[in-house]
Structure 1
Amino acid sequence: MLTRSRSRSQSRSRGPGTGPGGDGEKAAVRRREGAASGSKPCHCPLKRPRKAKRLHVAYEVVDGAREEGKGASPLQVPHWEPQDWQQQLANIRTMRSRKDAPVDHLGAEHCYDSTVSPKVRRYQVLLSLMLSSQTKDQVTASAMQRLRAQGLTVDSVLQLDDHTLGALIYPVGFWRSKVKYIKQTSAILQQRYDGDIPASVAELVALPGVGPKMAHLAMAVAWGTVSGIAVDTHVHRIANRLRWTKRPTKAPEQTRAALEDWLPRELWGEINALLVGFGQQTCLPLHPRCQACLNQTLCPSAQGF
């Protein structure tokens, strides 16, 4: 009895697989076979192949396979546009139908001499735009008349001394700085462009005293090319009052980018003169005439005045 009990306990202490037919006996058989064949026994554990993980991509179609040869369609971004903008624009067109704002007869397209060569006309357009910054249209038009009386060309302007040029353009805003810019720009045009003006926005804004608004207007008036929306203080103010920008903007260039992001391109050439005249007559900076505005019920800012 003692012998049988000791035999059972020894068998249990060896653990599973060490008895007859267990893994221990099978391993011993493999070692003997390996020794007989002359190969070294391998003690490396066998690695089980890992199951490949499936990566799910955000735009991948999971519920059904696409037809062969058709890729995933690009992610569609919802197009933002202001509420009621088409009706607001139609109302502004109605209010501006008489074309009797200062910009309509004193703007840059009315300040050049139509009897001179196209090259000289383009130069005069650019100069009128340079003078118009921070200046009322009436003051700009008067300064242009005095300059044209002197024969307004690149050569004639370069022959004027600074004092005489200043007297001719006074009282336009920042007239002293503009004397310097006009002289510098005229010299560049004479040296690099044979007295003409550049035909690209990038080259125009590189000229002293020429900003983005002037460049886009020069492209439209002088070259007949709509390169972008010209945004001045009027366009900047009205676009924010009407909420024509996705979020409020603090500078005209931010407003230009915001408008060009959604406004149909065929309207870009119209919007400057339309809103400038509207800002001169109705949507004034300090005391807008909301009672006389057709957009009174559609304007988000009307209740604040």
Structure 2
Amino acid sequence: MNNKEKVLEIIKRLDSRYPNVKTALNFNTALDLLVATILSAQTTDVNVNRVTENLFKKYRTARDYANVSIEELENDIKSINFYKNKAKYIKNLAKELIEKFNGEVPKKMDELVTLPGVGRKTANIVLWNAFGINEGVAVDTHVKRISKLLGLTKNTDPDKIEQDLMEITPREYWGKLSHLLIMLGREICKAKAPQHKICPLNDICPSSGI
């Protein structure tokens, strides 16, 4: 089985286990998701959802974020790791959205990654979950680790891993693949204690015997 065949089998099996997979971050709008994804760096989605439950009621537009004082925004997200830096990203991002995109979240990768605090991972998450657009594969720590364990890549750099996965995966599955691997990483293929015996990919994973 080559890697193109393997990735299709992986998607088939994981899609059966995790139907209708999507981001675990709660959101109503593309702006909500963009903010939530920035907040999610180096913290849990559960913690982010706890904070954004009230945050998204208070801030509904890019102008709301742009006009609030940095101190007030920091206070609203202070339970999040690195909240001071993230508050700066969000305020600057909001100003850029107003100045360059009429306050709307752009639907193009090359435009999204010009925004403060937004890299390809964040852009991919927003594009697929908010707009249904497949521009790439969001590579987080789970995707990075599991794609290597499965033998789908030998790289360690997220951008190179993304390119490897895009080359072997049909475009319509790019967004879904990321979230399927994330679900597997959270439930079964945990970094410290992978549960090989109950893993649905056991027989096609080179690391299953380790």
| TM-score clears 0.5 | yes
Q: Which digits, 9 at most, give the CA deviation of each residue in 1:78-108, with x for residues without a partner?
A: xx62674443333323332496xxx66x32x
1:294: which partner in 2? Answer: 200
Residues 82 and 243, structure 1, Cα contact 8 Å, conserved in 2: no
Shift of 1:188: 0.9
2:76: which partner in 1? Answer: 168
* Structure 2 CA distance for aligned equivalents of residues 154 and 89 of structure 1: 36
* Structure 1 CA distance for aligned equivalents of residues 140 and 110 of structure 2: 18
In structure 1, give the amino acid aligned to 2:183: G
Residues 127 and 182, structure 1, Cα contact 8 Å, conserved in 2: yes
Q: Which digits, 9 at most, give the CA deviation of each residue in 1:110-129, with x for residues without a partner?
A: 322xxxxxxxx222221112
1:193: which partner in 2? Answer: 101
Residues 146 and 169, structure 1, Cα contact 8 Å, conserved in 2: no
Any idea what SS the aligned residue of 1:172 has?
A: coil
Structure with greater contact order relative to length (CA < 8 Å, sep ≥ 6):
2
* Structure 2 CA distance for aligned equivalents of residues 257 and 286 of structure 1: 27
Q: 1:272 aligns with which of 163, 167, 178?
A: 178
In structure 2, give the amino acid aligned to 1:96: Y
* Structure 2 CA distance for aligned equivalents of residues 143 and 94 of structure 1: 32
Shift of 1:255: 0.8
Pair 1:212 & 2:120 matched = yes
Q: 1:262 aligns with which of 168, 184, 189?
A: 168
Q: 2:13 aligns with which of 91, 107, 114?
A: 91
In structure 2, give the amino acid aligned to 1:214: T
In structure 1, give the amino acid aligned to 2:184: F
Residues 234 and 275, structure 1, Cα contact 8 Å, conserved in 2: yes
In structure 2, give the amino acid aligned to 1:295: L
1:111: which partner in 2? Answer: 27
1:126: which partner in 2? Answer: 34
* Structure 1 CA distance for aligned equivalents of residues 81 and 209 of structure 2: 33
* Structure 2 CA distance for aligned equivalents of residues 205 and 84 of structure 1: 31
In structure 2, give the amino acid aligned to 1:128: A
Larger Rg: 1
Shift of 1:194: 1.4
Matching of residues 20-169 of structure 1 within 5 Å: 81=3, 84-97=6-19, 106-107=24-25, 110-112=26-28, 121-169=29-77
Any idea what SS the aligned residue of 1:297 has?
A: helix
Any idea what SS the aligned residue of 1:302 has?
A: coil
Identity %: 28
Residues 144 and 161, structure 2, Cα contact 8 Å, conserved in 1: yes
* Structure 2 CA distance for aligned equivalents of residues 96 and 206 of structure 1: 33
* Structure 1 CA distance for aligned equivalents of residues 86 and 42 of structure 2: 11
Residues 7 and 168, structure 2, Cα contact 8 Å, conserved in 1: no
Pair 1:184 & 2:106 matched = no
* Structure 2 CA distance for aligned equivalents of residues 175 and 301 of structure 1: 37
Mark the CA change 1:188 to 1:96 in structure 2 (over 3 Å): closer, same or farther.
same
Mark the CA change 1:191 to 1:127 in structure 2 (over 3 Å): closer, same or farther.
same
Mark the CA change 1:84 to 1:226 in structure 2 (over 3 Å): closer, same or farther.
closer
More helix by proportion, 1 or 2? Answer: 2
In structure 1, give the amino acid aligned to 2:39: L
TM-score, length-scaled by structure 1 = 0.63
Residues 8 and 169, structure 2, Cα contact 8 Å, conserved in 1: no
Q: 1:240 aligns with which of 126, 148, 153?
A: 148
TM-score, length-scaled by structure 2 = 0.89
Mark the CA change 1:294 to 1:220 in structure 2 (over 3 Å): closer, same or farther.
closer
Any idea what SS the aligned residue of 2:202 has?
A: coil
Pair 1:251 & 2:173 matched = no
* Structure 1 CA distance for aligned equivalents of residues 170 and 34 of structure 2: 27
Residues 149 and 206, structure 2, Cα contact 8 Å, conserved in 1: yes
Residues 296 and 302, structure 1, Cα contact 8 Å, conserved in 2: yes
Q: Which digits, 9 at most, give the CA deviation of each residue in 1:40-79, with x for residues without a partner?
A: xxxxxxxxxxxxxxxxxxxxxxxxxxxxxxxxxxxxxxxx
Residues 243 and 300, structure 1, Cα contact 8 Å, conserved in 2: yes
